Structure 1
Amino acid sequence: MDTPSTETPSFATGLAEVPAHVPSERVVDFDYLRPPGIEDDLHRAWKSIQDSAPDIFWTPRNGGHWVVTRAEDIKAIQLDHEGFSHRRMVVQMPDADPMGNLISMDPPQHTPFRTLISPALSLRAVKGLELGIRETMIGIIDALLPRGGCEFVGDFAKVLPVVIFLRFVELPEADRPRLLELAEEMIRPTSMQAQFEAHAAIIAYLGGHLRERAQAPGKDLLSKIVHAEIDGRPITMEEAEGLSNVVLAGGLDTVASMLGFVARFLALNPEHRHKLIAEPALIPNAVEELIRRHGLVNTARLITRDMEFGGLCFKAGEQVLVPNHLYGLDERQVGDPLAVDFERERPAAHYAAFGNGPHRCPGSYLAKAELKIFLEEWLRRIPEFEIAPDTKPVFACGPVNTVRELQLRWGNADAQSF
């Protein structure tokens, strides 16, 4: 497989001109798609930037934008949707079409759309899904077990969440390969044109099913969306497609990415595996800690007005990258942040993974349930595993950090040893 640097090229060529209001000491030549050291450990590569660069800096890469690296600033920007709009959530992309796109909306427009999907993803609703999630998980693991190894991302991490999601919204499981391909191009695009084409293909796919549910509704979330009312009027098909797209993208990619990082960590740290096997009551806390340590999201914000922030001059129309995953790696918030401690005092800092305020991820309960059941069922069946010899995990950065490839191996299913 190619290296991450060839799989996720920057869309801009050359370097942007440094604006006059940016102090020279705050200019850092940094490409968020290729942090130095990503080939060895993605999060340590980002931690190195956090430790060595100014708390807030400006990079001429990818069209030129600000970057914040510390928890206090990350949280402040997440909570200030008036000064830092979600309309432009990806660096160097144009403003998002707001119709039904929950991620790119700002309150108050955001509120009724979020209210529409939140009950289906509530803690109570997710509890009702756990038996089905566990059965799905066991089936996939049992099919892999006799093989003695797998490419974890393709064989498990990307299979599990999409199967669960497709069942959740009652879509054909045969559509999984195509949807995964489109979701990958949407979230880690190879070009702007490819991203637009993937987005159009997903909208067309969802639109067809939404029109079917409009005529013959069921009890699934897509039926609920297409028959919903927004501020007292019927939802438009364009809004229903946009909202369904957000649900789909979250279901297909985020959990898969987290599973990849967690499996890599456990493969490299047998003492942590053995602790969870010996003390399964620690698993809920382990989920919190693993999410903190392996945050995913690198979203941007559009600066809406000229302002002073952190002693710097921000100008309306500029973008600022908000690497949420650095919140949980900030030693000003978390002691010894690179260490994973399953007995760390809760609550762990989760601005890294799920955000906060009106844009806190509505699928967080589902994501944590899938990770908890993964730890329970995988470690019960495959307690001893490692990264396959002569292989190396492949990472990629983008709006969502991920593991692209992870070759694992384990011993005989009966001996459970190498």
Structure 2
Amino acid sequence: MSQPATWTVPEHVPEDRVVDFDFMHPPGAESDVHAAWKALHRGPDIVWSPYNGGHWIATRAEDIETIQKDNLRFSHARVTIPRSDDVTLVPLELDPPEHTAYRTLITPSFLPQAIASMESDVRALTIELIEGFKNKGECEFVGEFAKMLPIVIFLRLVDLPQEDRLHLLEMAELSVRGDLEERQRSQGMLMGYIGKWVQERASNPGNDLISLIVNAKIDGQPISPERMFGMMIVVLFGGLDTVAAMMSFICRFLAEHPAERRRLAEEPELILTAVDELIRRHGVTNTARVVVEDIEFKGVQLKKGDQIQVPNALFGLDERRFANPMEIDLARKPVVHAAFGNGAHRCPGSFLARTEIKVFLQEWLKRIPEFEIKAGEQPRCASGMVNGMLYLPLQWKVA
């Protein structure tokens, strides 16, 4: 292992825990980002990456679950790497009990009964998008479908103009896969965009999520501008890229595995139970926690202020938790994954995400049951705070 001149390793980090692994650019990520992360399972359970300011990485499901649930030792105070002190992402970067009041504010909008009323809209849009390119015999799945479905549904949820979707997608991409400078630029762009809507919803509130946040009170007091903006980042970006990424990884799997694809197409009732297995295999988020005080954990000394990354993808790829984790078993039960987090911070939008993926599978396989990667083309992936599929060209025969 060669050591770049930019590496700095703190004294409390044992030499045998240092890995040459930059999570923004792991070797092989462009072709298979999950296999690139899976390579960490060849080493110790807890490792140190000297890149991006230096941080620990928990690689095993048991430790990822422990850290996600233990806010007393592992705080959410800074979930991004490299750490940024500009904006607090609310409620994501708050710990209980402060976290609870802000989460309670937005949770009702994402409860199963609320999402059930939206499912017909999700289905109608899914069909519209598919029918728009079905007769062409090809599409670029990420741009023509995966990114379009969640953002159009979400813009309806927050009552923002549909024509703004490409601008918001650009900001979301910078936010989840950009470096520190790009993330800060994304936040500045969003601040400029959302400011007018905050003022408008304060004067003319509706039934949308932005109106709810703008006019809410926490402990009897209006939400501060800083906290309000932090909530807007989480609300606007939280469900866009993650759902698009999961959907794209799942679609690539089906394009490359005709037996499983045909089984789902021929037995559509399997989709309801297979969704979580497909999500388990294709986890996308790589958030971090902050060590609250000096502790010993899994044989290493963690110092107060250290960041430790908990990649949800590695939870689902751990053979200690799942037999043959790199394989998809459509009949696997139970599938208790961590793709949406665990504990108090479990993603409130998880039911909406599952609904969008379920409907996509139902309607796509009904209309395009046979498809493959376009001849002569290669899909492209990327790693970052959110693993993503950048390019997924598909083709099929038109009847």
TM-score, normalization: structure 2?
A: 0.96
C-alpha separation between the residues in 1 aligned to 2:370 and 2:321? 33
> Which runs of structure 2 are paired with 1:397-412 in the superposition (5 Å)?
397-412=383-398
Tell me which amino acid in the other structure corresponds to 1:92.
Answer: P
Residue in 2 aligned with 1:264?
A: 252
Deviation of residue 161 (structure 1)? 0.7
Q: Which moved more, 1:133-142 or 1:319-328?
A: 319-328
Q: Residue 340 of structure 1 aligns with which residue?
A: 328
Helix, strand or coil at the partner of 1:90: coil
User: Who is 1:95 aligned against?
Assistant: 85
Q: Percent identity?
A: 50
What does the per-residue CA deviation read over 1:194-229, in whole Å, with 9 as the maximum and x for residues that have no partner?
A: 221210111222221121111111111111111111
User: Does 2:272 align with 1:281?
Assistant: no
Identify which range, 370-379 or 80-89, moves more after superposition. Answer: 80-89
User: Which digits, 9 at most, give the CA deviation of each residue in 1:323-350, with x for residues without a partner?
Assistant: 111111111111111110111112x122
- Counterpart position of 1:253: 241
After superposition, the Cα gap between the structure-2 partners of 1:96 and 1:54, relative to the gap in structure 1 and judged at 3 Å, is farther
Distance in 1, Cα, partners of 2:149 & 2:361? 13
Q: 1:234 deviation in Å? A: 2.1
Within 1, Cα distance between the matches of 2:86 and 2:73? 17
Higher relative contact order at CA 8 Å, sep ≥6: structure 1 or structure 2? 2
Partner Cα distance (1:95, 1:308) in 2: 27
1:358-378 deviations in whole A, cap 9, x for unaligned?
100000000000000000001
Deviation of 1:69 after TM superposition, in Å, equals 0.4
Q: Select the residue among 33, 47, 51 that pairs with 1:61.
A: 51
State whether residues 87 and 96 of structure 1, in contact with CA within 8 Å, keep that contact through their aligned partners in structure 2.
Answer: no
Which residue of the partner structure matches residue 171 of structure 2? 182
Counterpart residue number, 1:350: 337
Q: How much does 1:244 deviate?
A: 2.1
Q: Distance in 2 between matches of 1:17 and 1:196?
A: 24
What is the letter of the counterpart of residue 120 of structure 1?
A: S
Aligned residue among 354, 363, 368 for 2:349: 363
Offset at residue 96 of structure 1 (A): 5.4
Question: Does 1:160 pair with 2:149?
Answer: yes
Paired with 2:216 and 2:270, the residues of 1 have a C-alpha distance of 41
Q: Is 1:85 aligned to residue 92 of structure 2?
A: no
- Cα distance in 1 for partners of 2:226, 2:82 equals 24
Q: How many pairs align?
A: 396
User: What's the RMSD between the two structures over aligned residues?
Assistant: 1.4
Give ranges in structure 2 of 5+ residues lacking alignment.
none
| 1:59 Cα deviation from its structure 2 partner | 1.9
Q: CA deviation at 1:43?
A: 1.1
Match of 1:113 in 2: 102
Find the counterpart in structure 1 of residue 208 from structure 2: 220
Q: How does 1:181-330 map to 2 (within 5 A)?
A: 181-189=170-178, 191-330=179-318
Alignment counterpart, residue 34 of structure 2, candidates 27, 36, 43 = 43
Tell me how far apart the structure 2 counterparts of residues 29 and 48 of structure 1 sit (CA, whole Å).
Answer: 11
Residue number in structure 1 paired with 2:120: 131
Amino acid at match of 1:37: G
Residue among 13, 17, 27 paired with 1:26 = 17
Deviation at 1:303, TM superposition (A): 1.4
Residue ranges of structure 1 left out of the alignment (5+ in a row): 1-12
| Contact 1:15/1:62 (8 A) holds in 2 | no
TM-score after normalising by structure 1? 0.92
2:26 and 2:127 map into 1 onto residues whose CA distance is: 36
